[in-house]
Amino acid sequence: MKAQAIYNVPRSILGEGPVWDDRLNALYWVDIIGGKVHGLKDNRVDTVFQINDFVTCVALTSNPNYLLVTLKDRVVLVDVNARSIVKTLAKVDEPSTNRLNDCKVDAAGRLWFGSMDMNEREPSGSLYVLDPSGTVRKVLSGVTISNGIVWSLDNKFMYYIDSPTRKIMVFRFDLDKGELMNKAMDIDLSRHEGIPDGMTIDSEGYLWVAMYGGGRVLRIDPGKRVVIDEVDVPVSYTTSCTFGGDGLMSLYITTARNYPREVEREGDDGKVFIANTEIRGYTANKYLVNL
Ligand SMILES: O=C(O)[C@H](O)[C@@H](O)[C@H](O)[C@H](O)CO
Ligand SMILES: [Zn+2]
């Protein structure tokens, strides 16, 4: 399977965190370094939020006019029409050399979000959960680059990536409590090109993992822990993916430029790519807000 660049999207420095809003038929993604949330709807691109900070992840809420956005060390609620922050929902205490990174909403409407060492060396990062009530809990520490988060279709497992380990961790998951239980066997991706970054799941329960530096997205059977298919992307820094479009049958893939050395080079790196998988994805969960 091959992916193609969407011609009219801007090149991000570090494109990340794509999420499809099935209520609006819109794709959102972030440019972490550029400090932006972009939206794509009816073939039109719009910058829906911009700030002089890292914009590390975007998530849907139960109200389509509001998004959750994670910055360097905060989770904020953004009014999409006003393009501004309504309020800060949580702030985490992290070393100044850390920033937040990927996030995902679970089936109970909680936001899971993690942090990373910006030097990509120290295991100084953590994984947090923000409940709809506004309470934040730290659920894991000792993470170096917190990345992809996904739940099995029955919510009995959570899959989680700390990129430098080149593995997908598998946890038993308690959806009612929002807790990780015992760890099952990891899925080792160290024999594949690139390092595992963002991921999503399809309606058949298979994982799709963007391989940063590998220019591809792997489709993985998490039960057998094997790669069963892949999407070739014509640029190296594939960062994350999500299903969207008509019937959720297309895979949208974010990418980064080969920064900072080649920031000015022309090309498609940093754009969003699309692959027609003819496999259905799943609908993104929404964080529960009362507005
Ligand atoms: O894409 C991400 O999740 C991070 O924001 C990136 O910084 C990469 O993971 C990292 O650079 C890999 O080495
Ligand atoms: Zn990532």
39-49 per-position pLDDT tens digit? 999 999 999 99
- CA of residue 116 to ligand 1 center, whole Å: 9
Which residues in the chain land under pLDDT 50?
none
In total, how many domains does the chain have? 1
- CA of residue 17 to ligand 2 center, whole Å: 7
Q: What range does the domain containing 8 cover?
A: 4-276
Residue 253 has φ and ψ, to the nearest 5°, of -125, 125
CA distance 226 to 86: 44
Nearest to 103 by CA among 137, 57, 69: 57
Whether 287 maps to a domain, the answer reads no
**Under DSSP, is residue 281 helix (H, G, I), strand (E, B) or coil?**
strand
pLDDT, tens digit, 9 for 90 and up, residues 177-211: 999 999 999 999 999 999 999 999 999 999 999 99
Total number of residues shown for the chain: 291
What CATH number does the domain containing 238 carry?
Answer: 2.120.10.30
pTM of the entire structure?
0.97
Whether 155 maps to a domain, the answer reads yes
Q: Say yes or no: ipTM exceeds 0.90.
A: yes
CA distance 144 to 126: 8
Pocket of ligand 1 (CB under 6 A): 14, 16, 32, 101-102, 120, 145, 147, 163, 197, 212, 239
